[in-house]
Structure 1
């Protein structure tokens, strides 16, 4: 299964997302969607899984949960918007990771692209960075990867250009 992962759109969806994710089976969103119409665009394009973020209004929060916990291709996945990363988890997320025991943990919020193993929990952490134009990040980024036999394979980082520019 091929996954397109994005986060922190903040109401801006770069049209190239549709090209980069054309071969994906699903799109996953790590929160801070912004305008609800962005969800409509993504749902019309591919099956969508996502969580709401701290900037999202009640319309988005009615459509997306705070946390997602699911299994795909033998891999248990946990997604939430604010949660930290290995060694720096929020207390709420640390507790959930210890209960759920996912093989893949995804969050957004920081606008910092980060992929790293939590060796203690045997869990891969991913934050796709931010692909929207608002925030302090320099480069707008996405992740694309495959999930096969309980593992993440063929991980790619996609750069969309500098934050202030819609290329």
Structure 2
């Protein structure tokens, strides 16, 4: 199963983002959506699970949950926008992957059997960082891939 993972679109959905997510069977958005139409466009590719981020304070994006847990292909994913706000012990909760955003810095890191994945920012370029998202292959293990858009 292929999962598309993005964060921090900040109201900008690039054509390159849509192209990179083609073939995804589910899409996870880790907050700072910025415009609900982004989620509607992503749903044209695959089902979407999304949370709100710190900029999602008005309108429909403000109604998104702050955290979300979803099981995909036998693996539990936990979405939270900012890693310092993590409010559970992922290993004890049986989480396979914690998906975050906020920092705009892509990170793939294993800790105590849990994958911590920040896809970076797919929105406007900030802080001199690349514009990125991630794809994740679910098989016997979780295999992430960073996709640099710009």
TM norm. shorter chain > 0.5: yes
Q: Kindly tell me: are residues 143 and 82 of structure 1, through their superposed partners in 2, closer, same or farther at Cα, counting changes over 3 Å?
A: same
Q: 2:100 matched to which residue of 1?
A: 107
Residue from 142, 145, 149 that aligns with 1:152: 142
Q: Kindly tell me: are residues 45 and 38 of structure 1, through their superposed partners in 2, closer, same or farther at Cα, counting changes over 3 Å?
A: same
Gaps of 5+ in 2: none
Query: Match of 2:42, SS?
Result: helix
Task: Tell me the distance in 2 between the aligned counterparts of 1:130 and 1:137.
Answer: 11
Query: Match of 1:40, SS?
Result: helix
Q: TM-score, normalised by structure 1?
A: 0.82
- The answer on 1:3 being equivalent to 2:9 is no
Task: Report how far residue 136 of structure 1 moved.
Answer: 1.7
Residue from 112, 122, 135 that aligns with 1:131: 122
Query: Match of 1:45, SS?
Result: coil
Residues 94-118 of structure 1, C-alpha deviations (whole Å, 9 max, x = no match): 5353652311111000101000011
Task: Tell me the distance in 2 between the aligned counterparts of 1:16 and 1:126.
Answer: 21
Q: 1:69 matched to which residue of 2?
A: 69
CA contact (8 A) 1:3 1:25 kept: yes
Task: Tell me the distance in 2 between the aligned counterparts of 1:6 and 1:137.
Answer: 18
Task: Tell me the distance in 1 between the aligned counterparts of 2:9 and 2:128.
Answer: 12
If you compute each CA radius of gyration, which structure gives the higher value, 1 or 2?
1
Gaps of 5+ in 1: 84-89, 162-167
Runs ≥4 residues deviating over 6 A: none
Q: TM-score, normalised by structure 2?
A: 0.90
Q: 1:24 matched to which residue of 2?
A: 24
CA contact (8 A) 1:29 1:50 kept: yes
Q: Kindly tell me: are residues 99 and 61 of structure 1, through their superposed partners in 2, closer, same or farther at Cα, counting changes over 3 Å?
A: farther
Aligned residues: 149
- The answer on 1:53 being equivalent to 2:30 is no
